[in-house]
Structure 1
Amino acid sequence: MFRTDGPAPADRRGGGDLMAKKGWLVDRFQRLMQKYPTLRHIATLASGTAIAQMIALGASMITARLFTPETFGQFAIYGSIVSIVATIASLRMDLTIVLPDNDDSARRIAKIGTVSNVFFAAGASLAAFLLHDLIVDIYGSRELAIWMPLVGLSIFFLAQVTVLQYWFNRKKDYRTISRNRIQQMAGSSGGQVTAGLAGFTTLPGLIIGTAIGPAFAFFNLRRKSQELLAPIPEDTPSSLDLLRRYKKMPLLNLPNALIDGIRLNGIPLMIGLVALDSVGQFSRAWSILQVPIGLMNGAISQVFFQKMSTVKPGEMYPLVKATMIRAILISIVPFGLIYLVSPWFFLLVFGSQWDLSGEIARALTPWLAMQLVTSPISTLFVVTENQIWLLGFSIVFAAAPLSLLYFSTLPLVTTLTIVGGVMALLLVGLLGMALVAARRFDARPHEAAHAS
């Protein structure tokens, strides 16, 4: 017969023990977050980034069936130009926003970045308009040439969102940054899906749909950062004074960022010289591989950049070493799985037209795994004022993949397998450089270490 008198006392005790354990774990987690604010900041940013990446992955399953690899190839060329210019549009002064001792100087730096963004964006659109025929000759796509002048709008929104995020980074308002990433990705992914379902399955559908995210992110962050628009006191250093004070940003860090942008985006630009559908296959593999990286990369990088900007000599080497170890441990499992299941995964999730993407993803796995390890400590060279080291490394790091692609006579997947291995080895060398830079920083007197 059925019993109606409730569970036995032992069952009640078991349920109570389970609830007590859950309560203990929650309390333990909360105390851990309070004791280690850096961990709390990373968790805040990582949660937002994780949601954003999941949104992008979900949307890509739909758009992969709405748009052809060739259309995504056209968009990859467009996006590569946007990424290269947006990276340098603010003269790298966006990174500097977290460094001044007072908010007034930081606000003026933000204004410098904004004005620079406007000029770069306008210049990019004008150049795209004037080079219409050259774009057609190089990539054989008149549609790409027609829509390329929209790069200015995409560049401005993307670069300006970065400026505003560094302001909130300065304020340690990681919750706002986290939410903004979700909103930005939801806008871009939703825009692409909406455009595709509405029948706009050509290049303008991807461009306009994607632009919704950065545009919304910009206006939302601008609304929340009204203090940036307030008058700046007259005794605040002038724009010229601040450019002189942080001259290493435009003089050294900007060329380094430009070289990095050319390296990352030069690959699809170069593949596009052969076939736009191959660019689409590559961009699909690359974007999906960014998901596990994006889950932690941006969060760790932003939080540790803010932390490293205030660290005292003697504390840098332990911080950098611990960051590297954590990043290595984080990367082992997800990238091991990616290497094993990529070919099967891409066919299952995106369809048979993306068969080459799975092979490309496997070829790139070693490189992307090491990128996850090195990215959090890349800003170390800015904080320790060793940008010239990073510039030299970046030149070699950019020349390696582009040279291999240009001179290789092997099939694309074989060439990319070699590229992935070479790039991974170079990034191991970067880890060694970072440890040396950290030790040298720790050897400085405290005053000299933070002089700009």
Structure 2
Amino acid sequence: MTKYPTLKNIGILVTGTGFAQAVAMVAMVFTARMFTPEIFGQFAVFGSLTTIAITIASMRMDMAIMLPEDDDSARRIARIATVSNIVVALLFAVAAVVGRNLIISVYGSENLASWMPIGALTIFFVAQVTVLQYWFNRRTDYKTISLNRMQQQVASSGGQLAFGALGVRTLPGLILGTMAGQALAFVNLRLRSKDLVQPISDDTPSAKALLSEYKKMPLLNMPTALVDAIRLNGIVLLIGSVALGAVGQFNLAWRLLQVPIGLINSAISQVFFQKLARVKPGGMTRLVRFTMMRSLLISLVPFGLLYLLAPWLFTVLFGHQWDLAGDIARALTPWLMMQLVTSPISTVFVVTGKQQWSLMFAVVFCASPLALLQFSTMDLLPTIRWLGILMAAMLATNLVLADFAARSFDREGPEVQEPTEEETDA
């Protein structure tokens, strides 16, 4: 850890978040027995719609906090992102009220339609926590980020369990329990980020100038992120329009598998974003290729075991009402393995200024699974098997594009340089 600072930073994030995710997995064993697949299906639709809004809430200017050399410019960017978060949250609340009848007609749930406007709070809390985390990432304060994630997950899981134990085993129990953790995460980070709200010097570029300088974030990176959000959450929304119980099974499988994967992906991608943002032309390709290979080797054994054990594991942990979720988890394994491999280098398109490549790929990556689900004549499980294979193949293509982006970036330098030991230690 002392010799390799990058590995140390990843370890800090993984350790704290790992404890939190372990708590989430244990809590899921009980909540799955308290709430029915139909209730989880309603919650999945709620979460998918709010997640799409969260993706565009800050116009992706939150990522730009990492890029300026001076802190005052980063502070101004954070304020731009905060105003945008507030506006998007308010617009979501209005849209949820206006679209109440549409939600009922598509998903057949008045309860879901009634609780959808409160999603505005979820959007603000989660989007603003992301802004604050990028500020702490900029300052390489990974301990604060790790502790905050632990507190958020523990509070959210505990909130859901508390509502379930009190007999509130309907959609409000899941929503309010989760929101308790989101609110706690926001308040804690806000109290710890007093240096973010310090006065900004007069010679700092204006908000308009910074928006112009980092215009690729809202113009290219935001559409890319939006397309990605529509892809993943569109899968949930399409399955939910057929049967809320079926999407509840899918969502449980996805949530459980995302616990360890999300832990690793988030930690590595955050640390590598900071590192990639500092790499000079000539050192990018070697770092990216090294990271790809290391991630692939790390993922083979655990995902092989997951493929073999998933159907048995889900019925043992959650009961026979969730037997379909185990088969879905097995079908998703190839996709999730490639997701782990691509995560560390996911920000290479931002760092190299190739967001347009990422946007073009994201459009195809979004349209393909949604088209498969929309037009498939197979039953749900065979369709999801083909979905897992399709998405894994497309993520392999994304690795090739990332390699091209890194090589293009390196050609801009005066000479090819070998990366330092610190640049490859993870």
Relative to the length of structure 2, the TM-score reads: 0.96
Over aligned residues, Cα RMSD in angstroms?
A: 1.0
In the alignment, structure 1 residue 233 sits paired with structure 2 residue 201: yes
1:446, distance to aligned residue in structure 2 (A): 6.6
Corresponding residue for residue 126 of structure 2: 158
Distance of 2:234 and 2:113 partners within structure 1: 18
Match of 2:158 in 1: 190
Q: What corresponds to 1:373 in structure 2?
A: 341
Task: Identify the residue that residue 93 of structure 1 maps to in structure 2.
Answer: 61
CA distance in 1, matches of 2:398, 2:16: 28
In 2, distance between residues paired with 1:131 and 1:341?
Answer: 42
Instruction: State the partner residue of 2:169.
Output: 201
Q: Secondary structure at the match of 2:241?
A: coil
Q: Is the 8 A contact 2:17 2:146 kept in 1?
A: yes
Deviation (angstroms), 1:249: 0.3
Residue 276 of structure 1, aligned match among 244, 253, 262: 244
Distance 2:176 2:414 in 1: 50
Matched with 1:174 is 142
Does the residue aligned with 2:393 lie in a helix, a strand or coil?
Answer: helix
Partner of 2:51: 83
> 1-side partners of 2:197 and 2:91: how far apart?
25
Largest Rg, 1 or 2:
1
Pair 1:312 & 2:280 matched: yes
- Does residue 112 of structure 2 align to residue 119 of structure 1? no
Alpha carbons 2:17, 2:150 under 8 Å: kept: yes
Deviation per residue, 1:69-121 (Å, 9 max, x gap)? 00000000000011111111000001110110000000000000000000000
1:426 aligns with 2:394: yes
Are 2:285 and 2:406, in contact at CA under 8 Å, matched by a contact in 1?
A: yes
- Contact 2:156/2:177 (CA < 8 Å) preserved in 1? yes
User: Which stretch shows the higher mean deviation, 226-235 or 380-389?
Assistant: 226-235
The answer to whether residue 210 in structure 2 is matched with residue 248 in structure 1 is no
Gaps of 5+ in 2: 416-426
Match of 1:415 in 2: 383
Q: Distance in 2 between matches of 1:113 and 1:310?
A: 23
CA-to-partner distance for each residue in 1:133-165, whole Å, 9 max, x for gaps?
111011000000000001100000000000000
Give 1:39 shift: 0.7
Question: Contact conserved, 2:280 with 2:413, CA < 8 A, in 1?
Answer: no
For the 8 Å contact 1:53–1:294, the answer to whether it is kept is no
Give 3-state SS (helix, strand or coil) of 1:164's partner: helix
Structure 2 match to 1:285:
253
Aligned match for 1:146, one of 84, 90, 114: 114
Write the deviation string for residues 14-46 of structure 1: whole angstroms up to 9, x where unpaired.
Answer: xxxxxxxxxxxxxxxxxxx12211111011111
Q: Aligned partners of 2:63 and 2:129: how far apart in 1?
A: 13
Contact 1:49 1:294 (C-alpha < 8 Å) held by counterparts: no
In the TM superposition, what whole-angstrom CA distance separates every residue of 1:179-238 from its partner, at most 9, and x where no partner exists?
011001001100000010011000011100100111000000000001122221111101
User: Are 2:239 and 1:264 equivalent residues in the alignment?
Assistant: no
Give the secondary-structure state (helix, strand or coil) at the position aligned to 2:378. Answer: coil
Rounded to whole Å, the distance in 2 between the matches of 1:170 and 1:197 is 41
Three-state SS of the structure 1 residue aligned to 2:169 is coil
1:345 aligns with 2:313: yes
Instruction: Answer whether contact 1:342 1:359 (CA < 8 A) is retained.
Output: yes
Cα–Cα, structure 1 residues 148 and 173, in superposed 2: closer, same or farther, change >3 Å? same
Determine if the alignment matches structure 1 residue 220 to structure 2 residue 168: no
Amino acid at match of 1:95: M
Q: 1:446 to 1:181 in 2, by over 3 A?
A: farther
Report the residue type matching 1:440 in the other structure.
S
Amino acid across the alignment from 1:267: I
1:48–1:181: 8 Å Cα contact kept in structure 2? yes
Q: Distance in 1 between matches of 2:133 and 2:172?
A: 28
Tell me how far apart the structure 1 counterparts of residues 188 and 254 of structure 2 sit (CA, whole Å): 29
Question: 1:229 corresponds to which letter in structure 2?
Answer: V
- Contact 1:292/1:334 (<8 A) preserved: no
Paired residue secondary structure (1:312) = coil
The superposition leaves residues 345-368 of structure 1 with CA deviations (integer Å, 9 ceiling, x where unpaired) of 000001111010001001110001
Does the 8 Å contact 2:282/2:413 carry over to 1? no
- Quote the Cα distance in structure 2 between the aligned partners of 1:295 and 1:361: 18
Deviation at 1:294, TM superposition (A): 2.1
**CA distance in structure 2 between the aligned counterparts of 1:76 and 1:325, rounded to whole angstroms:** 34
* 2:49 corresponds to 1:73: no
Q: CA deviation at 1:326?
A: 1.6
Give the CA deviation at 1:53. 1.3
Moved more, 178-187 or 327-336: 327-336
How far is 1:423 from its partner? 0.7
Instruction: Tell me, in whole angstroms, the C-alpha distance in 2 between the residues paired with 1:292 and 1:66.
Output: 23
Question: Per-residue deviation at 1:49?
Answer: 2.0
Percent of counterpart pairs with the same letter? 60
Counterpart CA distance in 1 for 2:355 and 2:270 is 18
The residue that corresponds to 1:41 in the other structure is: 9
d(CA) in 1 for partners of 2:238, 2:343: 24
Give the counterpart of 1:391 among 347, 354, 359: 359
Quote how far apart the aligned CAs of 1:391 are. Answer: 0.4
* 2:331 aligned residue: 363
User: Aligned partners of 1:292 and 1:330: how far apart in 2?
Assistant: 13
Runs in 1 of length 4+ with deviation above 3 angstroms? none
In the alignment, which residue of structure 1 is the partner of 2:265?
A: 297
Which of these residues, 363, 367, 371, is aligned with residue 403 of structure 1?
A: 371
Q: Does 2:302 correspond to 1:334?
A: yes
The unaligned stretches of length 5 or more in structure 1 are: 1-32, 448-452
